[in-house]
């Protein structure tokens, strides 16, 4: 059964990530917000630290690279499965990843997304790649390309095609809003083997940035997470070796999601953890600024007896706790081989929306200090919105949850 305390073996990792947020990320946060497409060279040292923790075993898989499906049970085994393995409690790479990301995102979400070899593409590789692929790609930085000009939340409508040609697949299409797309060494591209079959025919392919069929079209200018580069690509007769297809190459028409779609079960808790970390940062700074103004929230007193600002803070703390616990549950389930698609969407939906609401409310409560560049609240309010959008919008998460609760398919509930 899940333990709500941070596992003892993860305490050094959490402290290390917290120190990174306070001592490295926050001091340079505004600098790279203003210098949008400039690479934060300070992150090279951070990447080396994470690699060292992973190599030593102290991290249990810090960052996105550690996110993986539990090997103890295959995907699809329910919580009612009997046996010794089902009874054991495992606190593994998924839980350690969300705990560390929560801390680094207290410092800066964009910088967290810019740490080499910690991209969402790395999480996708960890989630669905075979052992040989993990060894081949394990030390390289991978971005993930899903969104297309006419395809956002509905991943099943992806138009980028993958056609088998001997020992290769030929990819054609466009991808936009690729996080870390310019800086990464690899791009995990989602493409369909058969458009008529929707999500079940979607596969993910690892494409080398040096591939002549992959062209970088532009870098985007954005509202938030400006320290992280966001790219648009074209794929024109992009030939990829068949061994670079992640997961099962066969189209399985029976059952639920294919391997590519199962990636979301691992990456959505990571994005939820980003939102939880940023929410924590907003609440801590707002509490500090209000305390200087004589407003102190007291959780032991009824809300009606406290100042309005104090009562708002306490209500937001409750939302934060809900998002935090949902995120831990989704990650813990992944570590223990339990199907977590609904829980991953619940965590992402709650954490993303909570982050946006809290960030904007904190700007409001702090007035001029919240709106000006003298504090990071202004920046955090801009950063927050993407956490309610990427890896599936708020609306899509609620749709996934509704389908799971009602036992309906995507064709039955749209």
* Whole-angstrom distance, CA of residue 250 vs CA of residue 412: 25
DSSP class per residue in 136-169: HHTTS-EEEE--BTTBSS-GGG---EEEEETTEE
List of E strands, 19-103: none
Query: Is 272:326 a contact under the CB 8 Å cutoff?
Result: yes
Distance (Å, whole) CA 185 – CA 177? 16
What is the Cα–Cα distance from 202 to 187, expressed in whole angstroms?
A: 16
Cα–Cα distance measured from residue 156 to residue 197, given in angstroms and rounded to the nearest whole number: 9
Element (H, E) at 175: strand 168-179
**For residue 209, what is the DSSP state?**
T
d(CA 148, CA 316): 35
Q: Catalytic residue numbers? A: 391
Q: 10 Å Cβ neighbour count for 386?
A: 26
């Amino acid at each position: 059964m899940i333990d709500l305390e941070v596992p003892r073996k993860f305490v050094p990792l959490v402290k290390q990530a917290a120190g990174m947020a306070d001592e490295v990320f926050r001091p340079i946060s505004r600098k790279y917000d203003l210098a949008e497409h400039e690479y934060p060279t300070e992150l090279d040292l951070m990447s080396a630290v994470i690699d060292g923790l992973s190599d030593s075993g102290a991290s249990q898989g810090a960052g996105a690279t550690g996110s993986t499906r539990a090997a103890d049970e295959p995907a699809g085994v329910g919580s009612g499965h009997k046996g010794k393995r089902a009874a054991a409690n495992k606190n593994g790479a998924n839980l350690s990843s969300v705990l560390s990301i929560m801390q680094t995102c207290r410092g800066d979400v964009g910088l967290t997304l810019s740490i080499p070899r910690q991209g969402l593409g790395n999480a996708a590789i960890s989630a669905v790649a075979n052992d040989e692929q993990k060894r081949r790609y394990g030390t390289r930085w991978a971005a993930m390309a899903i969104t297309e000009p006419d395809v956002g939340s509905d991943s099943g409508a992806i138009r980028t095609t993958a056609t088998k040609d001997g020992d290769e697949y030929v990819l054609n299409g466009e991808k936009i809003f690729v996080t870390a797309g310019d800086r990464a060494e690899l791009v995990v591209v989602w493409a369909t083997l058969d458009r008529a079959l929707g999500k079940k025919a979607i596969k993910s392919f690892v494409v080398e940035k040096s591939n002549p069929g992959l062209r970088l079209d532009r870098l985007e200018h954005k509202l938030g997470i400006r320290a992280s580069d966001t790219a648009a690509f074209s794929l024109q007769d992009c030939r990829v070796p068949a061994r670079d297809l992640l997961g099962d190459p066969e189209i399985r028409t029976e059952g639920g999601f294919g391997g590519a779609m199962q990636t979301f079960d691992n990456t959505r808790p990571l994005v939820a953890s980003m939102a939880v970390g940023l929410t924590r940062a907003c609440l801590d700074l707002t509490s500090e600024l209000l305390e200087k103004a004589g407003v102190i929230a007291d959780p032991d007193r009824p809300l009606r007896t406290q100042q309005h600002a104090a009562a708002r803070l306490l209500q937001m703390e409750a939302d934060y706790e809900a998002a935090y616990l949902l995120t831990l549950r989704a990650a813990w389930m992944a570590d223990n081989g339990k199907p977590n698609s609904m829980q991953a969407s619940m965590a992402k939906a709650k954490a993303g929306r909570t982050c946006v609401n809290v960030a904007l409310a904190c700007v409001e409560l702090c007035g001029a200090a919240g709106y000006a560049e003298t504090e990071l609240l202004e920046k955090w309010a801009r950063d927050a919105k993407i956490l309610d959008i990427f890896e599936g919008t708020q609306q899509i998460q609620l749709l996934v949850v509704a389908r799971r609760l009602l036992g309906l398919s995507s064709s039955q509930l749209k």
